[in-house]
Structure 1
């Protein structure tokens, strides 16, 4: 959290009181698509995918959450609405989770927590999201794959080919052809 904003000792202590550990086994869902999320979690160990099952059955992965990131269906959490996405553990995962409503109350009492949240959202849900949208819209499939491996070198060996393909918006066969060309 300190990478986004410095926190006072009082804010850390108050926040820490609301944390709970949760273990997920590989393939276990952290959030079911269409459920209303209530929690957000820090990924201490493991890897999760943030995906949507389309009406035709296709899986579209929007994002991966690895160690040292916060995982949630943020838009649904903020709106208190059903999530358009599911979140699944791709590896055995250890999360440190907290209720979002409790966190919001803490932000009212500790402005440094509010500054942390704003900084986190700016970096992860505004700046990175815009970069990703441009990449997915304007680059070729091969360029998207090269961009993915350049920006996510530690994930490439942890993900199965169909996960990467679902993230890039290509079929596993297309991704296999791209990899052979390189």
Structure 2
């Protein structure tokens, strides 16, 4: 062998034998050290599980909201398709409007509000059925601009009224109506 081969033979292999798989792996003291990436990987996996759970919860909420919107659309279509469906509308002194499409045979109505800002301090707009000789009956709460479908209406009802109530609504009106609409023109209270 020439001088070049002797030099390369003298240096090979420069890594310890255990790296090449020819010797035992050296032990480092009595303590076993955990690699730094293990806690990071565990934290990342835990975070991924939390994110996945949040997505699952949000997906369920979205499904529930879609189902509720689909049910509301069906109810609206049912009222609109009734052979005796009639429309009426009214306006308050400030220009806010109330609209109704009602069916006396179905005892249902679709009620909309327009031109109103959101009530202040967590308050809500509540719809009431007004009948002669009876206490007002709540028909539900308006959610922003979404129409409210009122069912099981008493055929003797004379009007619909909207009041501003504490969050969650009230069992009876606590304020004067902001707008009221007579139902005679849509087949009720006759």
TM over 0.5: no
Larger relative contact order (CA 8 Å, sep ≥ 6): 1
Q: Larger Rg: 1 or 2?
A: 2
Q: Whose helix proportion is higher, 1 or 2?
A: 1
Taking structure 2 as the reference length, the TM-score comes to: 0.24
